[in-house]
Amino acid sequence: MIATTRSQTQARTLLVVAGNPDTQSMILEHAKEKGYSVISASTPAIGLSTFDMTQPDIVFVDVFQHEQDGILLVKQIRERRPTCPVVLLTNPGHAELTMEGLRAGASDYVQQPIHEDTLAHVLQRAIHRLPATVDDAAGIERLEYHLVMLP
């Protein structure tokens, strides 16, 4: 595996895993206006395979309340790439699911229906969580040695 760094001017990629087409389109429209590239998936299973294939910068995951597959997806993403910010898409009145998602490794959440200004703030916080360089990524240490030769 080869580590690469991403240019500051290169577009960020978002993966939106949500069953609600309105949620997907709202995030798509707002993110494209801001210069992001957006990929969407309608189920957690498709979302995981899409995550593996595309390696997005940020992932939005619906908690999929009935099956709680969204919580499992958050865990799987964190296992695969711990530095990838995961944002939960939650519904009002489901605080326990939201807390469970945060404990699973999500870095933030936003309640649906999503408002444009709220989404902008959540995206900004997620961008700040991304490592700026490979050296900033968790688990990487830089060691420097100085060789001094004496006569």
> What pLDDT is recorded for position 136?
46
pLDDT for residue 131: 74
Tell me how far the alpha carbon of residue 25 is from its chain's centroid. 17
- The Cα–Cα gap between 6 and 2 comes to 13
Please say whether the beta carbons of 130 and 107 come within 8 A: no
In a structure prediction context, what are the per-residue pLDDT tens digits for the chain, which is 151 residues long? 444 444 444 578 999 999 888 889 999 999 998 889 999 999 999 999 999 999 999 999 998 766 678 999 999 999 999 999 999 999 888 889 899 999 999 999 999 888 889 999 999 999 998 877 554 445 555 566 656 777 7
Please work out, in degrees rounded to the nearest 5, the angle formed at the alpha carbon of residue 35 by the alpha carbons of 32 and 39. 50
| Strand order across the beta sheet in which 86-90 lies | 37-41, 13-17, 58-62, 86-90, 108-111
Give the pLDDT confidence score for residue 65 in this predicted structure. Answer: 61
Those residues with Cβ within 8 angstroms of residue 125's Cβ, 6 or more apart along the chain or in another chain:
85, 107, 108
Q: Is the dihedral of CA 104, 108, 112, 114 positive or negative?
A: negative
